[in-house]
């Protein structure tokens, strides 16, 4: 198997998120939101854990890959500040984790916004103040602390 070549280093996080399947052409939410957990993140994308990948008649991965007008909005709520942060993304892979007790799905998303986009910076700033998983790595990475 080949070695992975990533554009940016990924870091472990654990934050509740909501995924919303959107039709950007018609400006519509296509299905009920899906709750998930942000598992790791980089400047260009993220890996999430979700309990199911089908919502209504849509499959989160295939709906977006079959129609360029569909995208996933990754929503993070900062409950302390009352802010809602939404990052548009496109799924690049998914896997059904059958060995875990919850038999969840993992979904890889590529952010549609560039790393210098203000919303990407806000997302990383929000994550930097969350309880650390790796001893403050995010603050050092983004020079926020």
Q: Which residue segments constitute the domains of the chain, with CATH numbers given?
A: 11-142 (2.40.10.220)
Q: What percent of the chain lies above the pLDDT cut of 70?
A: 79
Q: What percent of the chain lies above the pLDDT cut of 90?
A: 38
DSSP state of 80: T
Task: Give me the sign of the Cα torsion angle 82, 60, 44, 135.
Answer: positive
The answer, yes or no, to whether residue 133 has pLDDT greater than 60, is: no
pLDDT (0 to 100) of residue 141? 45
pLDDT (0 to 100) of residue 142? 46
pLDDT (0 to 100) of residue 115? 87
The answer, yes or no, to whether residue 25 has pLDDT greater than 60, is: yes
- Greater confidence, 122 or 20? 20
């Amino acid at each position: 198997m080949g070695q992975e070549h990533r554009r940016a280093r990924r870091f472990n996080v654990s934050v509740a998120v909501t995924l919303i399947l959107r039709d950007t052409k018609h400006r519509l939410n296509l299905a009920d939101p899906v709750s998930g957990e942000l598992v790791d993140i980089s400047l260009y994308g993220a890996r999430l854990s979700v309990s199911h990948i089908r919502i209504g008649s849509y499959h989160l991965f295939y709906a977006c890959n079959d129609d360029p007008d569909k995208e996933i909005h990754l929503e993070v709520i900062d409950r302390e500040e009352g802010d809602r942060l939404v990052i548009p993304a496109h799924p690049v892979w998914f896997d059904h984790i059958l060995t875990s007790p919850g038999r969840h799905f993992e979904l890889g998303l590529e952010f549609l916004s560039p790393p210098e986009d203000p919303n990407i910076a806000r997302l990383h700033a929000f994550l930097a103040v969350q309880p650390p998983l790796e001893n403050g790595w995010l603050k050092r990475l983004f020079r926020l602390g």
